[in-house]
Chains A and B, each alone.
Chain A
Amino acid sequence: MRRPSARRTTALLAAGLLLPVLAACGSESDKGGSTEAGDSALVIYSGRNEKLVKPILDKLEKAVGTKVEVRYGDSAELAAQLLEEGERTKAGLFFSQDAGALGALSKEGMLAKLPSSSLDAVDEAYRGGAGDWVGLSGRVRVIAYNPDEVAEDEVPDSVHDVVRPEWKGKVGFAPTNASFQAFVTGMRVLEGDDATRAWLKGLKDNGRTYANNLATLDAVESGEVELGLVNHYYWYERVAEKGEDEVDAKLKFLPGKDPGALINVAGVGILKDSEQAETAQKAVDYLLSEEAQTYFADKTKEYPLAAGVTSSVEGLPPFDSLQSPDIDLGKLESLQETLAMLQDVGLV
């Protein structure tokens, strides 16, 4: 008979649907309790990955003495969410993966001005022009190379060289990666659109594209390509994970203020309309403190930007020795034109 068994199935399905709902409602009411108590909690919107920053945000909770709730998301999407929330936002602090998202909030006047004690903790180049966000850690663009395929002294000193004929089919890069796009924007600011377009065309002819920096590094590692345009810390993370002997690829830090040596920063800003401004300021102070800066140096393998902390990561060139181009990170806002150019050239 068909009908009764159909009915039984429906009942089974209904039960299957209802059980987890009840379970979820139960856990929601548990959470409800903690939210009531946590009205004074500091809410952080973090565009940085949970895996990277949760340990330091856990410590931050102890340091500021208030409960901290973190919402993780994509930096750009969280910025859009904050813009929609406007003055009713529940966030006290925005922790962004890059300067662009902080710049967008600053432009809309959503960030509170930071005290000079916070701002002066880092170099002028790595904080917001309006004094309402501050960089915490930096990552630099480098060329990864495979020493089995190419000798150290043959590795190009400039990204301009990788478009030469001898590197045809030997350069890996990730055109959809935000850091790569920031670097192209930097090149446009430094050298103009025409030169950048020509370079991108050359790169397209010479290069092989990958989904992200890690895949690019893997390709260098396996010898699929000889050179890879990546961020420095992926290599150091790989080494920390596997040991230096297990990693074939090496890094070249570019000299001479080459656009290929651009530094990107992650940073924080306090939401102006937040009632948690005071706690948020304590959190900013903590993130600029020696303890937090040391965390970024040791754990995320980035360059700490404050508290005089220098990275203890073995083999990492000192921050002062980096010859990065002089560029106002605020100008990297013109990312849209970069994307249009990448699309024109056919890279994304």
Chain B
Amino acid sequence: MTPTESAARPAGAPAPAGRRRFRPALGAPAGTGRRPPLVLLVPACVAALFALLPLGYLAVRALERGPGYAWDVVADERTLHLLARSLGLTAVVVAACLVLGVSLAWLTVRTDLPGARAWSVLATLPLAVPSYVAAFAWLAAVPETGGFTGAALALTLVSFPYVHLPVAAALRGIDPAQEEAARSLGHGPVRTFVRVTLPQLRPAAAGGALLVALYVLSDFGAVSLMRYDTFTRAIHTSYRASFDRTPAAALSVVLVVMTVALVAAEARTRGRAGHARTGGGTARPAVRTPLGRRRLPALAWCAAVVAVAVAFPLGTLGYWLVVGSSATWDLAALTEAAWATLGVAAAGAALTTFLALPVGVIAARYRGRGPQLLEQSAYAGHALPGITVALSLVFFAVRYAYPLYQRLPLLVGAYVVLFLPVAVAATRAAVLQAPPVLEDVARSLGRSPLRVLREVTVPLAAPGVAAGAALTFVVCMKELPATLLLRPTGMDTLATRLWTETGAGSFAAAAPYAAALIVLAAVPSYLLGRHRT
């Protein structure tokens, strides 16, 4: 609020909206407090500002030839056309990911599916497959899979874990008592799932779907190989064909606007229901539904998904190894790249999760314009192509953080900017499931906000937050465009080695790097599965 505004307010008028910006979530007891404590607000704002860096860069670049020029680029007829194509692809991929992600999560967490835990780990691995490797594999096996179908197929199969992981975490966190009550009142298993379980999964599923949508919008690898022209393609064309950053920036702004709209739309689906259970931890896990005669079809479904999403790309890698003559087992280079990858991805995941925590907690616990803005800021740049984000960090680092330029800390910072929403979504969904009343109790017992966070909120949300950290770790591992531009000179990750080898057409030499990415991605999901069964 500006001073003029408050001066203009007639005496006796209702308090300015600004003061009520941070309303506690509906359903939360009155003691929740009106605004987030500083201990949350300050780091959350830092994280949000960090995530907004690319937007500052886009503003500078898009407007450097005046708003008229930027508008001409954006208002082109082709822009609308491409936008429609991008959104069409996004809608189909999101729908397919929801079907795959939710069905696998339910089967692996809530049924007596044989080998449930192994399936659960396997269902995470596709995330480690770079989209262009998936596209390559499909094109090599079925050259006809081009265009929309091919792009949708490749993108769905690498991104459904974005839905699967948070939904599985949510299923584990739901208080089984509600479902048991529904069953005891005469609901069948299907009706119980639709009426009781599904609504509680909504925040996790919608959060995952949003991540999938933004991933599809930002992807370049799969759509370019599949020759499906999307909005991102126009941005890349601007860099590659005309070496002009101004139209690229103007077009990128459209992606940002679209992202904000999608985030707002997702927020609308959240509804007002509370999703917390009443106790901190259930004394027992939910009873697994016996599949009975449906066991075989359920197994076949899991096997089919894992076959096309994991076994198929791995098989393609194996084929590359066998037929290629460039196969050289440079174990030293592989080990070095693997360690470097683990190091930067772990640092990236740790810092991202840490910074996402306050944003996620605020997004879950407080309503109103302020918290909404914070969360939207975290997401704003997430649909931008990696190259745009990387260039924005080059822009800022060269000007304001030169000593860090092309050093590890900046690369880790880039991962935070790129993947903050991944961790925020997981944190938010996890905190939503934790009962706010416990925080109130802790507060009423005189605990400081920091101690409430440390002793109540975080421990309750830990499984979900850890799932988010694992997810972030995997996507950091396979990140390519920003890593190429910002890595210390001479450092190689598995993704950059993979890029080098495939760029030279040495697919056999590339295969071990891609395989290592997939194998390493299994580690965090395996660890996550440890306490589940």
Q: Which A residues lie at the B interface, using CB under 8 A?
A: 2-3, 5-10, 12-13, 16-21, 23-25, 27-28, 31, 35, 43, 49-52, 69-74, 76-77, 79-81, 83-86, 88, 90, 100-101, 103-104, 175-176, 178, 181, 208-212, 214-215, 234, 237, 241-242, 333, 335-336, 338-339, 343, 347-348
Contacts A74-B484, A176-B227; is A51 near B346 (CB within 8 Å)?
no
Q: Which B residues lie at the A interface, using CB under 8 A?
A: 78, 136, 139-140, 143, 146, 224-225, 227, 229, 233, 237-245, 280-283, 285, 325-326, 339-340, 342-347, 349-350, 387, 390-391, 394-395, 398-399, 402, 405-408, 459, 462-463, 466, 469-470, 473, 481, 484-485, 488-491, 496, 500-501, 503-506, 523-524, 527-528, 530-531
* Max count, chain B CB within 10 A of own CB: residue among A8, A181, A211: A211
Interfacial chain B residues near A52, Cβ < 8 Å: 504
Q: A17–B349 contact, CB under 8 A?
A: yes
Docked Cα-Cα span, A195 to B405, in Å, equals 48
Q: A13–B243 contact, CB under 8 A?
A: no
Q: A13–B469 contact, CB under 8 A?
A: yes
Task: Report the minimal beta-carbon distance from B396 to chain A, rounded to whole angstroms.
Answer: 10
Q: B527–A24 contact, CB under 8 A?
A: no
Contacts A20-B346, A86-B398; is A76 near B240 (CB within 8 Å)?
yes
A84-B245, A90-B406 provided; 12 other pairs, C-beta below 8 A? A2-B285, A9-B527, A9-B528, A20-B339, A20-B342, A25-B408, A69-B489, A80-B239, A81-B391, A81-B394, A81-B485, A241-B326
Q: Secondary structure of the B side of the interface? A: helix
Top 5 A-B residue pairs of the complex, sorted by shortest distance between their CB atoms: A24-B343, A104-B243, A51-B504, A20-B342, A5-B531
Residue ID in chain A nearest B487 by CB atoms: A71
Q: A50–B500 contact, CB under 8 A?
A: yes
Q: List 18 A-B contacts (CB under 8 A).
A: A7-B462, A9-B531, A16-B524, A20-B342, A20-B343, A43-B489, A71-B406, A71-B489, A72-B500, A77-B481, A80-B387, A81-B391, A84-B391, A84-B395, A181-B241, A209-B227, A335-B240, A336-B238
Q: A24–B488 contact, CB under 8 A?
A: no
Interfacial chain A residues near B408, Cβ < 8 Å: 24-25, 28
Docked Cα-Cα span, A19 to B345, in Å, equals 12
Task: Report the minimal beta-carbon distance from B483 to chain A, rounded to whole angstroms.
Answer: 10
Task: Report the minimal beta-carbon distance from A57 to chain B, rounded to whole angstroms.
Answer: 12
In the complex, which of the residues A27, A211, A214 contacts B340, with contact meaning CB atoms closer than 8 Å?
A27
Task: Report the minimal beta-carbon distance from B410 to chain A, rounded to whole angstroms.
Answer: 12
Residue ID in chain B nearest A100 by CB atoms: B243
In the complex, which of the residues B146, B394, B470, B491 contacts A209, with contact meaning CB atoms closer than 8 Å?
B146
Docked Cα-Cα span, A336 to B247, in Å, equals 12
* Max count, chain A CB within 10 A of own CB: residue among B240, B245, B527: B240
Docked Cα-Cα span, A88 to B350, in Å, equals 31
Contacts A10-B466, A211-B225; is A3 near B281 (CB within 8 Å)?
yes
Residue ID in chain B nearest A347 by CB atoms: B227
Residue ID in chain A nearest B353 by CB atoms: A17
Q: A49–B503 contact, CB under 8 A?
A: yes
Interfacial chain B residues near A10, Cβ < 8 Å: 462, 466
Docked Cα-Cα span, A69 to B490, in Å, equals 7
Contacts A24-B343, A24-B344, A90-B406; is A80 near B350 (CB within 8 Å)?
no
Residue ID in chain A nearest B396 by CB atoms: A84
* Max count, chain B CB within 10 A of own CB: residue among A17, A209, A237: A17
Docked Cα-Cα span, A50 to B339, in Å, equals 20
Interfacial chain B residues near A347, Cβ < 8 Å: 227
Interfacial chain B residues near A214, Cβ < 8 Å: 505
In the complex, which of the residues B143, B283, B399, B466 contacts A13, with contact meaning CB atoms closer than 8 Å?
B466
In the complex, which of the residues A24, A27, A51, A71 contacts B347, with contact meaning CB atoms closer than 8 Å?
A24
Docked Cα-Cα span, A3 to B279, in Å, equals 12
Docked Cα-Cα span, A212 to B485, in Å, equals 24
Task: Report the minimal beta-carbon distance from A157 to chain B, rounded to whole angstroms.
Answer: 28
Residue ID in chain B nearest A78 by CB atoms: B485
Residue ID in chain A nearest B407 by CB atoms: A28
Docked Cα-Cα span, A181 to B237, in Å, equals 12
Q: A79–B243 contact, CB under 8 A?
A: yes
Task: Report the minimal beta-carbon distance from A83 to chain B, rounded to whole angstroms.
Answer: 7
Q: B243–A17 contact, CB under 8 A?
A: no
Task: Report the minimal beta-carbon distance from A341 to chain B, rounded to whole angstroms.
Answer: 11
Interfacial chain A residues near B462, Cβ < 8 Å: 6-7, 10
Q: B242–A336 contact, CB under 8 A?
A: yes
Q: A80–B339 contact, CB under 8 A?
A: no
Docked Cα-Cα span, A269 to B326, in Å, equals 31
Interfacial chain A residues near B143, Cβ < 8 Å: 208, 210
Q: A13–B524 contact, CB under 8 A?
A: yes
Interfacial chain B residues near A70, Cβ < 8 Å: 489-490
Task: Report the minimal beta-carbon distance from A28 to chain B, rounded to whole angstroms.
Answer: 5
Q: A21–B281 contact, CB under 8 A?
A: no
Residue ID in chain B nearest A22 by CB atoms: B343
Residue ID in chain B nearest A344 by CB atoms: B78
Q: B346–A18 contact, CB under 8 A?
A: yes
In the complex, which of the residues B285, B395, B485 contacts A73, with contact meaning CB atoms closer than 8 Å?
B485
Docked Cα-Cα span, A181 to B503, in Å, equals 17
Q: A339–B237 contact, CB under 8 A?
A: yes
Docked Cα-Cα span, A286 to B356, in Å, equals 50
Task: Report the minimal beta-carbon distance from A201 to chain B, rounded to whole angstroms.
Answer: 16
Interfacial chain B residues near A84, Cβ < 8 Å: 245, 391, 394-395, 398
Q: A17–B473 contact, CB under 8 A?
A: yes
Interfacial chain B residues near A21, Cβ < 8 Å: 343, 346-347, 350
Docked Cα-Cα span, A19 to B350, in Å, equals 12
Residue ID in chain A nearest B325 by CB atoms: A241
In the complex, which of the residues B229, B340, B506, B528 contacts A343, with contact meaning CB atoms closer than 8 Å?
B229
Residue ID in chain B nearest A75 by CB atoms: B240
In the complex, which of the residues B224, B398, B459, B505 contacts A7, with contact meaning CB atoms closer than 8 Å?
B459
